[in-house]
Structure 1
Amino acid sequence: MTSNLDIIRATYEGSPQDNSRHLLAALAADVRWTEAPGFPYAGTYVGATQIVAGVFQRLGSEWEGFAAKVHTYMADGNRVAAFGTYSGTYRKTGRHMTAGFSHLYELRDGLIVRMEQVVDSHLVQQAMKA
C-alpha cells in the first residue's frame, strides 16, 4: 500500500514530466490549492484545470528553469508537509531567485484534497522587478 508520504514524494522527486503526471493522478476532483498571499499566483484554485492553468502553466511560461527542491518531509496521518527551496529565472527580467517554501498537503483516500503554500514571496517578487 502506498503511503501519503510516498504519494507526495512522487510529485517532487522524479523528472518534471513524472512529477506532473504523479501530481495530476493524486489530485482529488475538488482539490483546493492555495498559493500564498504575495506570491505572483496567489489565491485558491479548485480542481486540476484551475491549478494547471493558474499556477503550473504560468510557472512554465514565465520562469526559466523553475524548480521546487524538497529537503525535508514530515507526515502526520492524513497530512504531509514538504519543506524546500524554489529557484528559477524570471524571463522578463532575467533575474534569478531562490526562496524557501513549505507546502502542507491534506489527503483523503490516497488523493490530495488540499494544499497550502507558504513562501518567502519577497524574494520571488524581487526577481520579477525590472
Structure 2
Amino acid sequence: MTSHRDLIRRTYEGSSEENGRNLLAVLHPDVEWTEAEGFPYAGTYVGVDALMAGVFARLASEWIGYRAEVHTYLADGDRVAAFGVYSGTYKATGKTMRAAFAHLYEIQDGKIRRMTQYVDTVMVGKALS
C-alpha cells in the first residue's frame, strides 16, 4: 500500500509528463483545488477538467521551464504538506522568478480531494509585470 506522502511525492519528482500522469491518476473526480489570492490563477477549481483548464494548461502555455521543486514533505493522517520553490520564466515579460510555496493536500480513498496553495505572490507578481 502506498503512503499518502508517497502518493503526493510521485506528482512532483519525475519528468513533467510523468508528474502530470501521476497527478491525473490520483485526482478525485470532484477535486477542490485552491490557488492563493494574488497568484495569477487565484480561485478554487472544482473538478479535474476545471483544474486542468484553469491552472495546468495556463502554466504550460504562459511559462517557460515552470517547475515546482519540493524540498520537504510532511504527512499527518489524511493530510500531506509539500514545501518547495516555484521557478520559471513568464513568456509575456521574459522575467524569471523563484517563489517559496506550500501545498496542503487532503487525501480521501487514495485520491487528492483538496489542495490549498500558499505562495510568495510578490515574487510571482514581479515576473508578471
State the TM-score, normalizing by the size of structure 1.
Answer: 0.98
Determine if the alignment matches structure 1 residue 100 to structure 2 residue 100. Answer: yes
Q: Give me the whole-angstrom Cα distance separating, in 1, the residues matched to 2:112 and 2:56.
A: 16
Query: What is the rounded CA distance, in whole Å, between the counterparts of 2:3 and 2:72 in structure 1?
Result: 16
Q: Which residue does the alignment assign to 1:68?
A: 68
Rounded Cα–Cα distance in structure 1 between residues aligned with 2:81 and 2:118: 11
Moved over 6 A (4+): none
1:29: Cα distance to partner?
0.8
| Distance in 2 of aligned mates of 1:105 and 1:124 | 22
Q: How does 1:107-126 map to 2 (within 5 A)?
A: 107-126=107-126
**What is the percent sequence identity of the aligned residues?**
63
- Once the two structures are superposed, residues 61-86 of structure 1 have per-residue CA deviations (whole angstroms, 9 ceiling, x without a partner) of 00000000000000001000000000
Q: 1:51 matched to which residue of 2?
A: 51
SS for the counterpart of 1:38 is coil
Any idea what the Cα deviations from partners look like across 1:15-59, whole Å, max 9, x if unmatched? 100100010010001110000000000000011101110000000
Q: How many residues align?
A: 129
Structure 2 residues not aligned, in runs of 5+: none
The equivalent of 2:27 in structure 1 is 27
Matches of 2:122 and 2:38 in 1, distance apart?
7
User: Which residue number corresponds to residue 87 of structure 1?
Assistant: 87
Structure 2 length-normalised TM: 0.99
**Amino acid in structure 1 at the alignment position of 2:71:** H
Where 2:86 maps in the other structure, the secondary structure is strand
Q: Deviations over 1:96-121 (max 9, x none)?
A: 00000000000011000000000001
RMSD: 0.4
Give the Cα–Cα distance (whole angstroms) in 2 for the partners of residues 104 and 95 of structure 1: 28
